[in-house]
Structure 1
Amino acid sequence: MTTSDTSPPAEVDERTVRKAVGAAAMGNLVEWFDYGIYSYVVLYITLNLIPGGDAGNAGPGYAFAIFAVAYLVRPFGGIILGPLGDRIGRKKVLALTIVVMSAASFCIGLLPTYAAVGFLAPLLLILLRMVQGFATGGEYGGAAAFIAEYAPDRRRGFYCSFLELGTTGGFVLAAGLVTALEFGLTDEAMTSWGWRVPFLIAGPLGLVGLYLRSKLEDTPAFRELEEKAQLSESPLRDVLTKHWRPMIICIGLVLFYNVAVYTILFYMPDYLQTTTGLEATTALLYILGMMVVIMIVIIPVGALSDRIGRKPLILASCVGFIVLSYPAFLMLDTGTVLGTVGGLLVLGLLLVLLLGTMSATLPALFDTDVRYGGFSIGYNISTSIFGGTAPAILTFLVTSTGNNAFPGVYVAVAAVISLGAVLALRESAGKPLPGAGFTTSRAASPSAVR
């Protein structure tokens, strides 16, 4: 159902908004730290937990296949946890996701090796990755809806970009910790036990994220529906029968968005090591540098989307990936400092146009009573099929074709497919969320969006 109440909107003071945004973003940082660790220690996981785990052979491909397994259950997490968040509240479900995610990460750090227990090691890894996938299915959609529903209409891009700042911060924290361990430990120690340390740290970090989220009230939009007894009786049914059009647009937008994210942030460390021959520590330093640039630029991009709109920035990124992805990977394939920095800079700047806008764009597709569920289902279906599978597919394509720049083709094709969804997107900058009935005090607009 769509809320159409005409009573005066409740006000939320800007201090409360900032507190909610900060806590949600910090919780997201913790959760994506957990999720990012895997890709940064994938070669060590290969050597310890995968049968025949020779990093020079098929081992990394098997490890990335297990990485992709988590995405088989992400839609189920979205289908169950998303509508649950529309029924019982965003806060409760977000607290659940961070506990489950961190516990699974902690358990990965305790797994016995393949040499000790045989095939039980990869089987347990698969099980824990599936638990992570289920929890993540309810994370991003809920966190984005949470911030979007707190943020003032005219500054939603600015505030929502802090969510992706938290996400990128989680990756930076994970990559930085792994890099520090590689600097401080011998290769033997890192391979033997050092790779486990980031997973074990995920447990205490999860408690920090849970504490931050427990201090928040649920969003004004959700509480208003709850107080007026206007919550959907069956959010899942309503999404599938009444809101399938925005869900299709969501799937289309997320297709190229997550192919780009998982290629650049997840697959890239292994690509630089196994394809261009860089040392593990050197590869991670390059990735860290790119992510630091992204973190510096992401908030200004979010603020810019409040001024000129989300759609122009998303369209520019889409066209940019179509035209520049392959040349960027040709630059990376040179293996030189200039080529590596240039390729990562091109890909990173195109990616940040999406990171700074999507977390404000996607929640605006859905009404308040189905926002968590509709976003989570559409997002995770697309991510499961196209995003999480990208590292394994790209590893296979590079190996089978012998073309080290082929990942650029894959990203460009994904952008071409998503172009229709980008063109069909309605501008949401400066406009109320569908079903919103509140405003934020002292939240002056930079400018109106025409």
Structure 2
Amino acid sequence: MTAVSAAPLPARSHETRPLDRRDARTLLLSALGGALEFYDFVVFVFLALPLSELFFPKDTAPWLAQVQVYGIFAAGYLARPLGGIVMAHFGDRSGRKRMFTLSVFLMALPTLAIGLLPGYAQVGVLAPLLLLLLRVVQGIAVGGEVPGAWVFVAEHAPARRVGFACGSLTAGLTVGILIGSLLAAALNARLDHAQLLGWGWRVPFLLGGVFGFMAVWLRRWLDETPVFTEMRERRQLSQGMPLRVVLSEHRGGVVVSMLVTWMLTAAVVVVILMLPSLAPKSFHIAPRLAFLGNALAALGLTLGCVLYGWLADRFGELRVLLVGSLALVLGTYALFGDLAAGGAHFLSLYALDGLLVGVVGVVPTVMVRAFPPAVRFSGLSFAYNVAYAVFGAGTATAIGWLAARAGRMAPAHYVAITALVSVGTCFWLLARARATSSEST
């Protein structure tokens, strides 16, 4: 087995400096490309209902067609590890920037193609098969994009600003959700059902494809990370399979990253992505009101990621993640409790809970610090994507199991369970850090 050189990297001159204009440009271009790519990935779920009517036979029961569309949506999650592992391998061996650009290209192409697909009425069973294939390519792309983006900005930022950099990048990703939510809300408000099925559903995908190719062009102006450049110059790159090194020498980092990713997936998938569909069906909230609340929550999430990232630099990422996870439990129960009581404060509580979901902006900082630079991309990508594939694809099943026992509050219980797992992980890491500090003194 190939080992990673144990020689430490020398301290870089930019580690203690403040963020400068060059850093701001890197963060802006990275976040913009990430927003467009994440929009391409999540807009699918906002259009689940029209897709279920267009890509399956007309005599299919509505609930079955919707389940099948969500199954295709889940296929994107299951494909993420493949893209993440392959791109991370080359990212650790050949450079972060190349994979960073490739991932957004691989997202733009299938998104544009989805907007041009014929429906079941035109090509029969080929329609859902093509939709599934393109969704898998989207999953491969986002599997390399998200971990690669976190590693890219973390290795560009000064050491004391990594939390803000990762939080800002995560905020950029969530802007993609906000754009998708706003566009879906506008389409539902301005088009009738026939127009939405006729041509309206294509608009978000066509726009996403065009903007995705713009993001490819913008990323030409980014530089390779200083960390990777220095490792290459000092011949400290991993010589072999970085993932093999991760699984043999950094299993603790993998476990920690998977546990905090579970909380991230639950918070984003349940509160931000699923609730606009759950609220009308389970709590009788008007669909337009649900989409408006979702837009407010997505805006709160964007602001929350930046806020929590800034706090992580000031107070430490583990303490902020611990307190933020507890706050998420309280905010989610308040939101679902209000929905169960009639939703009198739905908009304000949804916006607040979106802000509290912003604690996910601290998760990438924890994961970046869990692996050494030579295998960082591979370690983070493997842990994040495998966890997201398992937990993201299994969220609906887990909530369904809980619903049989806890009724309409099941989604809140699921988010709370994962947040408490995050709290326990933080306590364990803080205790281990104190023990290590005591031994060294």
TM-score (norm 1): 0.88
Distance 1:257 1:35 in 2: 17
Distance 1:167 1:428 in 2: 32
Matched, 1:369 2:374: yes
| Pair 1:230–1:402, CA change in 2 (3 A) | closer
User: Residue 429 of structure 2 is aligned with which of 412, 420, 425?
Assistant: 425
User: Residue 43 of structure 2 is aligned with which of 30, 37, 55?
Assistant: 37
User: Residue 204 of structure 1 is aligned with which of 193, 210, 216?
Assistant: 210
Alignment length (residue pairs) = 426
Identity fraction in percent: 32
8 Å contact kept, 1:64–1:392: no
Distance 2:31 2:276 in 1: 24
8 Å contact kept, 2:296–2:350: no
Distance 2:207 2:59 in 1: 25
User: Residue 306 of structure 1 is aligned with which of 302, 306, 313?
Assistant: 313
SS at match of 2:270: helix
Amino acid at match of 2:301: I
Deviation of 1:74 after TM superposition, in Å, equals 1.2
* Structure 2 counterparts to residues 112-151 of structure 1, below 5 A: 112-151=118-157
Structure 1 residues 303-345: Cα deviation after superposition (integer angstroms, max 9, x where no partner): 122111111221123334455544532322344341x225424
Amino acid at match of 2:226: P
Structure 1 residues 389-433: Cα deviation after superposition (integer angstroms, max 9, x where no partner): 3246536765x669222111222222344443232335999xxxx
8 Å contact kept, 1:77–1:137: yes
8 Å contact kept, 2:47–2:184: yes
Q: Which structure would you say has the larger RCO, counting Cα contacts within 8 Å and 6 or more residues apart?
A: 1
Matched, 1:25 2:20: no
Amino acid at match of 2:7: S
User: Residue 383 of structure 1 is aligned with which of 362, 370, 388?
Assistant: 388
* Alignment partner, residue 185 of structure 2: 179
* Alignment partner, residue 259 of structure 1: 266
8 Å contact kept, 1:2–1:367: no
8 Å contact kept, 2:14–2:158: no
Deviation of 1:360 after TM superposition, in Å, equals 2.2
Matched, 1:237 2:240: no
* Structure 2 counterparts to residues 35-184 of structure 1, below 5 A: 35-51=41-57, 57-184=63-190
Amino acid at match of 1:9: R
Deviation of 1:148 after TM superposition, in Å, equals 0.5
Distance 1:127 1:395 in 2: 27
Unaligned runs of 5+ in 1: 430-450
Matched, 1:4 2:7: yes
Structure 1 residues 96-117: Cα deviation after superposition (integer angstroms, max 9, x where no partner): 1101111111111122212222
Amino acid at match of 1:211: W
| Pair 1:190–1:393, CA change in 2 (3 A) | farther
8 Å contact kept, 1:65–1:392: no
SS at match of 1:57: helix
More helix as a share of residues: 2
Matched, 1:284 2:291: yes
Distance 1:58 1:416 in 2: 34
| Pair 1:328–1:283, CA change in 2 (3 A) | closer
RMSD of aligned alpha carbons: 2.5
Deviation of 1:246 after TM superposition, in Å, equals 0.6
Unaligned runs of 5+ in 2: 434-441
8 Å contact kept, 1:264–1:348: yes
Distance 1:106 1:81 in 2: 22
8 Å contact kept, 2:331–2:356: no
Distance 1:412 1:109 in 2: 37
| Pair 1:6–1:179, CA change in 2 (3 A) | closer
Amino acid at match of 2:385: N
TM-score (norm 2): 0.89
| Pair 1:281–1:2, CA change in 2 (3 A) | farther
| Pair 1:3–1:48, CA change in 2 (3 A) | same
